[in-house]
Every structure is written in C-alpha cells, then in structure tokens.
Amino acid sequence: MTDRIPVTIIPGDGIGPEVVAAARRVLDAAGAPIEWEEAEAGAAVFQRGVASGVPDETIASIARNRLVLKGPLETPVGFGEKSANVTLRKLFETFANVRPVREFAGVPTPYSGRGVDLVVVRENVEDLYAGIEHQQTADVAQCLKLISRPGCERVSRLAFELARAEGRPGVACATKANIMKLTEGMLKRVFEGMAPEYPDLEARHIVVDNCAHQLVRRPEQFDVIVTTNMNGDILSDLTSGLVGGLGFAPSANLGADVAIFEAVHGSAPKYAGKDVANPTAMILSAVMLLRHAGLDEVAARVEHAVEATLAAGIHTRDVLGESVSTTAFTDAVIERLDAAPAAAGAAGPGRAGRRVRQLRVPRVDDTPQTAKERVLAGTDVFIEWSGSPDELGASLEAIAAGTPLRLKMMSNRGTMVYPSRGAQPSLVDHYRCRFLARDGAQPTEADLVSLISAIGARHMWMHVERLQQFDGARGYTLAQGEDNAR
C-alpha cells in the first residue's frame, strides 16, 4: 500500500463545509492516498475569542503537513480585525496565488468556444493587503502600499516557471506602473529584468486597466498573467467570470514550504446549508493539490470526471438550465471517475496541453540590496491644516528660515497647491509639505529632527517621510504639478 500523504483539511464557513466535504468524498472515492487531518479556522474560532481566527492547533497541523485543502473563511463583524485568510497566507508566506481558469464543455458562457485557458499569478502577501492603515485626520485615512524586490522576484520567477512547466507560450505582467512608478513599477522592472532568462517565453508588460479591458474583449490572447496583490484579486474574479463564475475557479496559495489550496470564492452565506453550492472550484483546487503532491494519475482521473460531468449537462444552479444539488453533482463526478479521458468529451486538458506537475517553487535571494550611494535629500511632513494653503506655506517658510532645509512645495491629496500654479482642487485638511536641502547644503539627521520639532510646536503633523536619492535616482515621486527643479 502506498504511504498516505497527510493533508490538513479546513471546512471553513458558509458553503465551505459542503464544498470541502464534496472534494474530500471525490478524492477518497478516487483512491487518493491522503490522510486527512481536520482543523478549524474562521468564524467559530473568532467567536471563541481567538483574535486571528486561526487556533494554534491548526497552525501546528499546517506546519507539520505543509499541504492544506481549505474552505472559505469569514471574519464575523465585531470579532477580530484581520482576515483569517490573510493571516494564513502571511504566516506561511504563501507568496503566490495561482488561479487558473479554462472553458468547460457544458458550461455555456459568452466566451464558449474561444478556448479561454489562462492562469492569473497574484502576489499574495504584500501590497495594500499588508493592511497598514492609519486614520490621519478625522477626514483622511491612508493605507500603505508596500512592495518589495524579493516579493516581486518570487512571484515573477514563479510565473515564468509555471508558464514553462505548462508549456504556455508567454507571460504578461499587469501593473499600474504608469501611475505608481516606485511600487507597481518595481514589479514591472523586476519582471522585465528577469525576462531574458526565459528566451523561450514571450514576456510583455500590460497596463492593468488595459489588461481588464483585453480580458473581456479577447481573453484567449492571455496564458499567464502575473500581477500585484490587489490587481490580482480583481482580475482573477474577472477571469472566473469568463468561464462560468466563481464556482469554477480553483486556486493554490504557494510558498516555499507550504501550499494551501482553496476555491477563489468566499463563503456565499446565503447558500450555506442548502446543498446548492457548486463544488467544482473546490474539487479542482483538490486536483491542484494532488498534482502538487505528485499524484498526477489520480489528479487526471478526478479532473476528467469533473469535465465529463459538466459535459453531460449536469451542474448546480449557478449555471443556467436544469440543475442538481451539491450532493448529486458530487455523486455524478464520483460515478464518472472511471471514465476514460477520451470519453469525457469535455474541453480536455486545455490549450496548454498539460497541467503543471509539482511546480518547483523558486527561492530567491532576499538578502537586502544596498545602494552604493544614498543621499538624504529632505523630508515630506504631513500636516493637518484647515486654513488656506498660503497661510500654512507662509508659516512653514518662516519655520524653515535659516535652516539647511527649505519648503519646496505643498500638495493636497497629491496635487501641488503651494506655491500655487492655479490648480483648484477641493482641499482636505491633510497637506504633504516637502522640504528639500537648500542649494549647497547637505541636511543632517539632526536638521530633520529639529525641523520636525519646530513644526510640531505650531502645527499638528501626522507622519514624516525621509526623502532620499539612491545612486543618484530620486527615491520619491513628484506631486501632480510639481517640477523637478531644485
């Protein structure tokens, strides 16, 4: 008898227990050599007072088994601040979320027959999902968008490796680098720098809004799309819509050590306990798990059984036409486990020809890079102010007089309003006040600190940013309307 592979299974919330049970039944019926270890996370755990929604026993189980099949998790209102999903992704550094979609025979969509078959590789732990938020004034809140070079390298490398492993011709990198040059631009630069290592693959950058547009107009042009966390969240819901909806979209959260497989969808609470949810996404997530564990043969059997079931016109009620229950759909999949792939009559293994098997999760060099030359250029001080920009400007000019720093400009929500260039944005009580070195002066740490304390004596400041040059390149962007002159 084959050694059984231990897998942590988390039923989750809402429709989770039903679709997870369906996937488990199918894998057991297919003879997958898996030892399930049930663990808890989500709403009930939050309600017991565990602030993360993930108990220690679950963390220990995942750390031990390193393979997880997971249902959707809810964060009940009034309990816990952070999503249990994000906690799991961050705790086990599952840095990439791989979300394949493809057309299924028997699931009619406006795109049927066009061969949609693509994978969104979403960065999974950084970006706005770091969840670093601050209320700045009563009227203004901020969320920090943190993007790292190692994070971009890991996800780019994984996207290229996945394209190669699946025999797909290319990778598109979707970013908003045209607006967020330093953060979104980091992924673009890392991706473009890595592309020459994969001369067999076509690598291209696409602006993310155009990517959304192109996905709706001509989705068949895409094979692999790598993107930042927030963009990937949105684009991958869009791509599931191309093939019949969230009920058909599986995913894998991949890290160097741990892989968590789950449907893209959430807990769909209105369908919970009604035996109507579509278990396809969860069963296909389990197929991804089987392949990741090297169980290709049983993975193919389960996948073909799902395809054959759908192709026979059997589906749950999220697809138009006569529908069956979750249980009946699962029974129908189990009945077809022995159907030969050729007899499945479904879309087959997809345009790429084969599904990835045990994707090597790349390790990248994450030792911090250092700049040869790093120069302190000044500071941005964010100040609460409800008077006129000119009054604040005059006050700050007076504070900086006689110091090595001068007020270069002030912006309000990113648009320069002082000195005035005639822009008339509606103003909020939150100004970014940029101080740069006076000509010939090189400000010191002490200069910054005394400037900030002098400002603090007269104004309410919220946060401060150090402005730096890295090897001669400006490490901060200009405000809308600001010129580059010193």
Cβ contact 54:74 at 8 Å:
no
- Catalytic machinery residues: 129, 176, 209, 233
CA distance 156 to 164: 12
Q: Is 265 in the site for ligand NAD (CB under 6 A)?
A: yes
Instruction: CB nearer to ligand NAD: give 89 or 406.
Output: 89
Residue of the chain from 11, 247, 255, 378 that contacts ligand NAD (CB under 6 A):
247
CA angle at residue 244 from 238 to 248, to 5 degrees? 90
CB crowding 165-202: b at 16 or more within 10 Å, else e: bbebebbbbbbbbeebeebbbbbbbbbeebbeebeebe
Q: Is 99 in the site for ligand NAD (CB under 6 A)?
A: no
Span of 188-196, 267-275, 301-309, 453-461 interacting with ligand NAD by CB under 6 A? 267-275
Q: Who's near 461: CB < 8 A, 6+ residues apart? A: 381, 382, 383, 384, 452, 455
Residue of the chain from 6, 17, 266, 481 that contacts ligand NAD (CB under 6 A):
266
Residue of the chain from 268, 332, 333, 410 that contacts ligand NAD (CB under 6 A):
268
Span of 221-229, 273-281, 347-355, 421-429 interacting with ligand NAD by CB under 6 A? 273-281
CB of 36 to ligand NAD, least distance (A): 19
Instruction: CB nearer to ligand NAD: give 73 or 437.
Output: 73
Q: Who's near 171: CB < 8 A, 6+ residues apart? A: 159, 160, 163, 191, 198, 201, 202, 203, 204, 223, 224, 225, 226
CB of 261 to ligand NAD, least distance (A): 11
Tokens of 380: 């941005």
Q: Is 246 in the site for ligand NAD (CB under 6 A)?
A: yes
Residue of the chain from 267, 285, 395, 411 that contacts ligand NAD (CB under 6 A):
267
Site string for ligand NAD, 10-29 (x = CB under 6 A): -----x---x----------
Instruction: CB nearer to ligand NAD: give 217 or 270.
Output: 270
Q: Is 318 in the site for ligand NAD (CB under 6 A)?
A: yes
Total interface residues for ligand NAD by CB under 6 A: 18
Q: Is 277 in the site for ligand NAD (CB under 6 A)?
A: yes
Q: Is 177 in the site for ligand NAD (CB under 6 A)?
A: no
**What's the Cα-to-Cα distance from 301 to each of 116, 308, 348, 349, 353, rounded to whole Å?**
22, 10, 12, 11, 16
Cβ contact 276:21 at 8 Å:
no
Taking the C-alpha atoms of 267, 9, 157 and 172 in order, what is their torsion angle to the nearest 10 degrees?
A: -30
Whose tokens are 């007072």? That residue is: 49
Question: Would you tell me which residues interact with ligand NAD (CB under 6 A)?
Answer: 15, 19, 72-74, 85, 246-247, 262, 265-268, 270, 277-278, 281, 318
